[in-house]
Amino acid sequence: MTPQVKWRERSALVRAWRLFRTRNPESFTEKVHYKMLRDHRPLLVTFADKAAVRDYVAATVGEQYLPTAFAVLDDPEQLAALSLPEAYVVKPTHGSGAAIVVSPNAPADAVLAAPEWGWVYRHVRPEAVTGDQLVETAAGWLSKLYGQGPNREWAYGHVPPRVLVEEMLTGPDGGIPDDFKFFVIHGVCRYIQVDVARFGARTHDFYRATWEHIPVSGGHPWADPPRARPARLDQMIALAETLGADTDFVRVDLYDLPDRIVFGELTSYPGGGDGPFRPARFDTEFGRHWTVPKRYL
């Protein structure tokens, strides 16, 4: 079934009001909303598509930075027939914030969400998930239109809904690796967000590209003690800037594994344009580096 856009999101009046309200953006979040409404280049659809972006990454920096893909499926029923390792990740290609992570290191009591609540992250052990459950959850994903239609997170509405199955990446302790998110503005990395322990005692820190910690909260506590500068930070910044060179802004997510750097995703709309900045002055600081064009070509 093809996902449907709600009438409100199809309304020309609603779109006109949003365009008017965002016409003179100053802060970072305001500029994300500006971009969401105005930047309709095919490149953003490629970035948003978790399957198609793999070809972009391979052509831009090399396929050695990609996680292994076990399958890209149009029909979720095909999940039940796959022969998969004991650790893997299943996610939709047309949205963000949803994945089933399967590995022996998951908590023993972790269970999958009911299919109707399936647009969430879950980390479960292999014995806690069946092929039928994967099919049911993935079918739910493919029935949903992420981003509430073309008037908001426009790019996701143009991504073919499919299911991607990839290798599970592991950090030095065998768990979920730290997630490095590089804010690339006009081809230059200005800020780095580091998320640690997504399924545990999660921390959330911001740094400048010089690895100076910034006293801003994005919703989770800071790491204590502060983390050391990563040995491969310069290499990750160079990769992020190369991947983000073709647009005014994109957030480039990478994983620094013990033996390699691995691509995560390209995000044009962090937090849907509503990510918290506390104190709010950092929303203004982030936005100063970004000059949005009058028209995206």
Please provide the average confidence, as pLDDT, over all residues in the chain: 91
pLDDT grade for 276, boundaries at 50, 70 and 90: confident
pLDDT grade for 150, boundaries at 50, 70 and 90: very low
Q: How far from chain centre, in Å, is Cα 1?
A: 25
In angstroms, the CA 73 to CA 56 distance is 19
- 0.85 surpassed by pTM: yes
Residue 6, pLDDT above cutoff 70: no
pLDDT tens sequence across 69-80: 999 999 999 999
pLDDT tens sequence across 46-66: 999 999 999 999 999 999 999
What letter represents residue 173's amino acid?
Answer: D
Most confident of 131-145, 166-180, 242-256: 242-256
Residue 28, pLDDT above cutoff 60: yes
- Average the pLDDT over 203-216 and give the result: 94
pLDDT grade for 160, boundaries at 50, 70 and 90: very high
pLDDT tens sequence across 234-249: 999 999 999 999 999 9
Residue 262, pLDDT above cutoff 90: yes
- Average the pLDDT over 8-34 and give the result: 83
- Check residue 87 and give its pLDDT: 96
- Check residue 120 and give its pLDDT: 83
What is the percentage of the chain residues whose pLDDT exceeds 70? 94
What is the percentage of the chain residues whose pLDDT exceeds 90? 72
Domain 7-288, CATH among 3.30.470, 1.20.1260, 3.30.559, 3.40.1350: 3.30.470
- Check residue 199 and give its pLDDT: 65
